[in-house]
Amino acid sequence: MTKLAIVAVGRVLPAGFDTLRAEADAEGYRFLERLSDDWPSGAMRFDRPGEALLAVRSADMLAAIGGLTSDPFVTDALRMRCFYVGAAFRRRGIGRRLATALLERARRSGRLVTCNAGIGSVPFWESLGFIADRRDGHTHVIDPARHLAA
């Protein structure tokens, strides 16, 4: 497998983002489109305490992207956002590596993490230790401090 690099996204969305966004949109996922729309205005920048937006590069291609923001409904929690792995990179452990990197950041901040798992992604999130918790605008929750310490 080609060497992967997980990098923090800075002031500019990563090269290849438009291609990943178009692919997500074709699959019916609009969250990368929203990220693209909100990025220039600063409405979503993943720059508050505990937040992060990470990109996974494989050679010269953007393989995946995902982030953590403050959860709008659960005090002191973070929420997985804009998590997408390109079709050509699925089933290679890239999503797991990205999610684990984000959860490690959350663990260091001592905050719970929520996510709103789409039907097809429920097994993935649950394999990481998320448990079903359908309330407050999310479907799953994890305490990274307890899960990653085990």
- The total of structural domains in the chain comes to 1
The reported pTM is 0.92
**How confident is the model at residue 149, as a pLDDT?**
57
Domain range for residue 80?
4-149
> How confident is the prediction for the chain on average, in pLDDT?
91
Q: Which of 57, 63, 58 is nearest to 90 (CA)?
A: 63
CATH of the domain at 50: 3.40.630.30
* Residue 25, burial from CB neighbour count under 10 angstroms (0-12, 13-18, 19+): middle
What is the helix, strand, coil percentage profile of the chain, to 5?
A: 35, 30, 35
Q: Which of 127, 94, 115 is nearest to 6 (CA)?
A: 94
Across the range 131-138, mean pLDDT stands at: 88
Q: Residues 105, 76: contact at Cβ < 8 Å?
A: no
Between these two residues, 15 and 148, which has the higher pLDDT value?
Answer: 15
